[in-house]
Amino acid sequence: MNEAGLTIVSKRDHRDFDPTPLPDLLIRQILEFGRLAGSARNLQPWRFLVATSLEVRARLAPAVYVPPMIQTAPLVVAIAVDTRFSQLALMDAGRTAQNMMIGAWGEGVVSCPNGVADPAPLQAFGVLSDTEIVPTILAFGFPRVPRDPARRSAERWIAGARRRPLDEVVVSLDDLSTRG
């Protein structure tokens, strides 16, 4: 498996961050990873609401299911999407979030998504339009303990993942069509 594959299979969510701020260039790079995600009909229905200050992260924390993660992450990105694009916008939010988290992991930055339990703290900033929602807020930071994806082979990462076996999640339509 190539380096990109190893980055994908070794990525794990982290909820505990080193307090060291991320350099501005690295933050920009993470945001670019998200901006460059594909989107249905290339509508790009997203905006990234970025918080790095402790004060702003504290105001955002009550919006999510796991507030301490938002309070301690040096970088927080709320992904706002325009709901006029229906379910397509939610899928695109997931695509851009995954791009940011995988890209960040490739740069040595850990991350975790957090669901929005209460949109009121986000709405209080006054930046969301009437047609925008925030389906997820991402937390980023350096790991407290350095992580090295290459410490295991891709096969060991895959074997250690707590996921259903591939045979349980794959259905071959080709096999079904040959049954008559």
The amino acid sitting at 141 is G
Enumerate residues 6+ apart whose C-beta is below 8 A from 177: none
Reference 114, options 123, 101, 105, 128; nearest CA is 101
Q: Which stretches of 6-58 are assigned E, i.e. beta strand?
A: 46-51
With a cut of 60, say whether residue 180 has pLDDT above it. no
Q: Are strands 110-115 and 132-141 parallel, antiparallel or unpaired?
A: antiparallel
Q: Residue 108: which pLDDT band, with cuts at 50, 70 and 90?
A: very high
For residues 138 and 123, give the distance between their C-alpha atoms in angstroms, rounded to a whole number. 17
Residue 37 near residue 96, CB atoms below 8 Å: yes
Q: For position 179, what pLDDT does the model report?
A: 64
Lowest model confidence (mean pLDDT) among 20-24, 54-58, 81-85: 81-85
Helices (H) and strands (E) in the chain, counts: 9, 4
